[in-house]
Structure 1
Amino acid sequence: MAPARTPAALLAGLVAADPGRPRVTVYDDTDGPTAGERVELSARVLANWVAKAGNLLQDELDAGPGSVVRLALPPHWRTLYWALAAWSVGACVEVARPGDDGHGADVVVTDDPARGGGAEHLVVVTLAALARAAAVEVPGGAVDEARDLATHGDVLVALDEPDPADPALRDGADVLAYAEVVPAAGDGTGGRVHTQTTDTGELLRLALAAWAGDGSLVLTRGTPGPGTRAARLASEGVTREA
């Protein structure tokens, strides 16, 4: 039996297969500074974000196998590349639950600095697509992703590989090892998958499943206006709702 794919190998396969094909499309119908955004990432562009975030994690924050990278982020395209970056350096991605701060995590990646107290390292993410600096006050010693991420390299070479039994995704009491976090292609995966999930753990699992089947993910954040949703799904060629 062939060894299970890691998320890093999965991403590399998407880039090799068709680097320009969209793999993530996000519509933002929330209130606030991101309202009205449509962001689409091809495999190549997604991999570029992952490389930069992975280099930051590995070179500045000493993340690797055995590290816990806690994502205190909503379902969002930035959440996806931070998860893939953590997996690419062999860390465990932990989905923050309500009330979590930074205790127990090596790195907290969040859009709310108050959720990072107690972590060894804090990365403050600004969700707006064109942000060049954080929209909130960044604590001393924390990383302002919007300001700093672009300075990191576009090629990521992991210093260590995770063991297949190492935890890859921890979501509450559910833990998936690296050997099982990427589903086998053909397990009902693939296609152009649409979701409006508000659960970050579910977003990560849906994305991995779609990509494992050589598919892509369309995420709607918030609630689109009357008549907008059906037209949008048709224009995006959605084949399945999740």
Structure 2
Amino acid sequence: MKTTIPQVFAEAVRRDPAAPLLTWYDDATGDRTELSGITLDNWVSKTANLLVDGVGLGHGDTVALLLPPHWQTAALLLGVSAAGLAADLGGDPQPVEALFTSLDRLTSAAGWSTLDRYATGLLPLAMPLRTPPEGYIDYVLEVRNHGDHFRGAPVDPADRALAGPIELSHQDAVAEAADRAAQLGITAGARVLIDTAGYPDATDWLLAPLVAGASIVLCANLDPSKTEARAATEKVTLTLV
């Protein structure tokens, strides 16, 4: 049984590296981004290398991820885990070693104490920001400078995976995700359409499907009139709205 988030993700990629693992829709912008296991793994590796080689973080450090559900959020959360770091997904501001935020959460991010701040516009085609906010580095531009493969020390099941109001080890985070997958009816081989408005928690929209062995169709600003056709196009077997 897989007991760490990096193990769970590696298994998801190994099952079918070229198949869509996470497909992103935003009905407010018309954005559609499809990531195979290989492509998402590339972003995860680049992110882990950015955190370790670029920011200089070490095992056990904490990274704040003040971001909505999005494929880039998935890459960041999985990259943080791969690097042996703990992800703080929000709550009361805390001192952290680095922070990543979207433009809509800059006000909340201002209260967090850290010297290393990154912003992303979550733009279609992973476009960079025209002008990053003052005091922030553009995540999309910076991450592309880092290697496609990450060679870090193995993560221990007892290491912190999630920080903040509720701290979970990797083993506990994986167990919680497995429980949520069972509650939501997510099974191995499923292709799950998930409305971010109804399931904003990363355990639900990311970790539970990965632990169960499912692939994800993640939809923001979901237009209900498009759900049925999208489910057919994407060969969805379970819809969570």
TM-score range, shorter chain: 0.7 to 0.9
- Among 107, 120, 132, the alignment partner of 2:98 is 107
**Residue identity (%):** 31
CA RMSD of aligned residues (A): 2.4
Q: Which runs of 4+ in 1 moved over 6 A?
A: none
CA distance in 2 between partners of 1:230 and 1:132 (Å) = 29
CA distance in 1 between partners of 2:119 and 2:165 (Å) = 26
- Residue number in structure 1 paired with 2:84: 90
- SS of the counterpart of 2:52? helix
Contact 1:72–1:96 (Cα < 8 Å) also in 2? yes
- Among 156, 161, 169, the alignment partner of 1:168 is 161
CA distance 1:80–1:58, change in 2 (3 Å):
same
Q: Quick check: 1:241 aligned with 2:239?
A: yes
- Residue number in structure 2 paired with 1:198: 197
CA distance in 2 between partners of 1:199 and 1:72 (Å) = 18
For normalisation by structure 2, the TM-score amounts to: 0.84
- Residue number in structure 1 paired with 2:123: 128
Query: Which one is further off, 192-201 or 20-29?
Result: 192-201
Q: Quick check: 1:189 aligned with 2:180?
A: no
Matches within 5 A, 1:31-110: 35-97=29-91, 100-101=92-93, 103-110=94-101
- SS of the counterpart of 2:60? coil
Give, as a single letter, the amino acid of the residue that structure 2 aligns with 1:134. Answer: L
CA distance in 2 between partners of 1:194 and 1:19 (Å) = 20
For normalisation by structure 1, the TM-score amounts to: 0.84
CA distance 1:67–1:18, change in 2 (3 Å):
same
- Residue number in structure 2 paired with 1:137: 132
Cα-to-partner distance string for 1:53-92 (whole Å, 9 max, x where unaligned) = 1100111112232211111111111000000000001111
Contact 1:207–1:216 (Cα < 8 Å) also in 2? no
Structure 2: segments with no counterpart, 5+ residues:
none
- SS of the counterpart of 1:40? strand
Aligned residues: 229
